[in-house]
Structure 1
């Protein structure tokens, strides 16, 4: 059973200790300070680097918006809207590996075998390169993607809430 209860969920992924990889968490931090945080049918949560635990966060949802750092060979800070079904069908976007070495795509492929998945949309923010040293700093270029991500998230939820 999910620890979340709202039918629509926004989940931010990343590590706050790995610089640009934490940009999904930054988006969640900003969203939690908006009027969206008080909506009854919406959960906004920091999912960290939860790996297979993501399946619990999907359980019982109608729609899940995942915000994560990605490597898509585009300029740092670029924002991509990716349908979950496209990830499952082999779209070439590559979300960063979690500390458990599973991508969101890997977890979704496992999930479709063991449960009914909700509608999933990934808002991916290009980080350019993998961070290899611990830092809390997110580069200015990557931070530029935060506002665009929030705009896309608002579009996603405006049609259903």
Structure 2
């Protein structure tokens, strides 16, 4: 059992030191300023750069919403909603690729072999290209996706409570 206890968990992935890759963390920071922070059935967590550690954060949740930077060949700041089960089944509506070493799909496929997975929804924000130099700056185009992502996350949470 996880130390996190809420049935709905929102996890932001990314590195705040790698520019646009930190957009998932930026969404988590913004969510801490919304009414969601006061809901007892919702956890809002910075999951860092994830990898296999993400599996521990899935424990004990009924639903997990993962927010991450993605490369999906769409305009920067575009927001994509992807069902975790579609990723596991190999159905990808966009050429979704995480900017981390392991994609979210890779982690979920490993996870389904070793544990029971909750309902998973991925909110991916298009960043346009991989960041190769350290910076804390997120481009204005990518930041436009933050408000869209928050709106989608609120819809997910309130439809699940």
TM superposition score normalised by structure 1? 0.96
Which residue is 2:80 aligned to?
A: 80
**Aligned counterparts of 1:154 and 1:108: Cα–Cα separation in 2:** 23
The match for 1:109 is 109
Q: Runs of 4+ in structure 1 displaced over 6 angstroms? A: none
Give the equivalent residue in structure 1 for 2:22.
Answer: 22
Give me the CA root mean square deviation. Answer: 0.8
1:89 matched to which residue of 2? Answer: 89
Partner of 2:52: 52
Task: Measure how far apart 1:3 and its partner are.
Answer: 2.6
> 2:147 matched to 1:140?
no
Equivalents in 2 of 1:88, 1:119: separation in Å?
12
Q: What do residues 16-71 of structure 1 show as CA deviations (whole Å, max 9, x unaligned)?
A: 00000000000000001111101100000000012111111001110000000000
The alignment status of 1:2 with 2:5, answered yes or no, reads: no
The Cα of 1:88 is off from its aligned counterpart by 1.2
In the alignment, what sits opposite 1:160?
A: 160
Question: In the alignment, which residue of structure 2 is the partner of 1:129?
Answer: 129
Unaligned runs of 5+ residues in structure 1 are none
CA distance in 2, matches of 1:84, 1:23: 20
Unaligned runs of 5+ in 2: none
Distance 1:154 1:50 in 2: 22
Deviates more, 1:121-130 or 1:44-53: 44-53
Match of 2:61 in 1: 61
- Report the Cα offset of residue 127 of structure 1: 0.2
Distance in structure 1 (CA, Å) of the matches to 2:2 and 2:97: 26
Report the TM-score, using the length of structure 2 for normalisation: 0.96
